[in-house]
Chains A and B, each alone.
Chain A
Amino acid sequence: MTERPEPADAELVVAAAVRGDREAFSRLVRRHQGLVRAVLRRLTRGDHGLADDLAQETFLLAWRKLPAFRFDARFSTWLYRIAFNAWLSEARRRREVLLEDHELPPEPGGEAAPPGADPADRVDLERALATLSDGERAAIAACYYADLTHEEAAEAIGIPLGTVKTHILRAKAKLRARLEKEPR
């Protein structure tokens, strides 16, 4: 007996949006939670608790907005936008977020490892990513973790395409320098 193939996102979205099918939505959550939580963990500088709270908020908002989803983008791209906006609102509540081409003020200790890090420990990517500016982290999260193109990332983040490319280049230069400085 052959198993029924996993339904596509579009099929589940229609079932959830039109018929209010919670089981279909639950399958969408299970399928996309990894991407949404990974992206938010990067955006929140590795704060897994906050990232999960924002991820939950993202899916609850997605459930409410689902009837407005028009299939003009991938479902995962649409989810990324909601997650990004949830993070942005939260970050703005806490402080000013700089997404344009500005540098954040250097952290105390300059290029040294973040506070609390043991220099003897292996520097992992998560810690290196946490040292990037908000804009650089948002661009890396969008293009690598949410697998968006530069164009999709620019639209989702709401910054010019050129700025996304600059952020990616600058972020990679910083990551490379940090990872070379403290080899894994």
Chain B
Amino acid sequence: MTPLPTPDDALERLLREDARREVPDDGFTRRVMEAMPAAPARAWLRPALLLGSAALGGLLAWLLEPAGASILRGFLDLARLDSRTPSALAALGAVVAIAVTAGVLAAEED
């Protein structure tokens, strides 16, 4: 003989049944998808632009640098604490450009 359900069984069953009850979507998913932020531009585009600009800048600096000057010579000048030569200025510019690019990319990663 099956025992009569105790009040606790009945409550347990009531809770479980209520929890299993389907909540109809009724357009909820569509509303969520419509409220989602617009898709960002392709993730690779921004770093590619930054790195491309830095590379182009470096190439132009190398092509247009005054005769006899070089980035390497600039670093040697800087090491001698002489920052007023064209080479030293070019080296400083390159360092700043790389630092800014790295900073922007690091911020993007966050």
Contact = CB atoms under 8 A, between A and B. Distances in A.
Interface in B42-61: 43
B18 A125 contact: yes
B107 interface: no
B11 A176 contact: yes
A144 B13 CA distance: 11
B21 to A, nearest CB: 7
A56 B19 contact: no
Given A176-B11, A179-B11, A60 B35 contact: yes
Contacts of B33: 22, 25-26, 29
Nearest to A37: B23
A136 B7 CA distance: 19
Interface string A49-91: 0001001100110010000000000000000000000000000
Contact of B15 (A55, A140, A180): A140
Interface string B23-34: 101001101110
A55 B28 contact: yes
Please tell me the size bucket of the interface on A: 20 to 34
Interface string A34-53: 10011001000000000010
B22 interface: yes
B29 A125 contact: no
A147 interface: yes
B15 A125 contact: yes
A175 interface: yes
A38 B28 CA distance: 13
A56 B23 contact: no
A176 B7 contact: yes
Given A26-B33, A59-B32, A176-B8, A144 B16 contact: yes
A60 B39 contact: no
Contacts of A179: 11, 14
Contacts of A25: 33, 36
A145 B19 contact: yes
Contacts of B11: 172, 175-176, 179
Interface of A: 20, 22, 25-26, 29-30, 33-34, 37-38, 41, 52, 55-56, 59-60, 63, 125-126, 140, 144-145, 147, 172, 175-176, 179-180
28 contacts: A20-B39, A22-B36, A25-B33, A26-B32, A26-B33, A30-B25, A33-B23, A33-B28, A37-B28, A38-B23, A55-B28, A56-B28, A56-B31, A56-B32, A56-B35, A59-B32, A60-B32, A60-B35, A60-B36, A60-B37, A125-B15, A126-B18, A144-B18, A144-B19, A145-B19, A175-B11, A175-B15, A179-B14
Given A22-B33, A34-B23, A56-B35, 7 more contacts: A26-B32, A26-B33, A33-B29, A56-B32, A60-B35, A60-B36, A144-B15
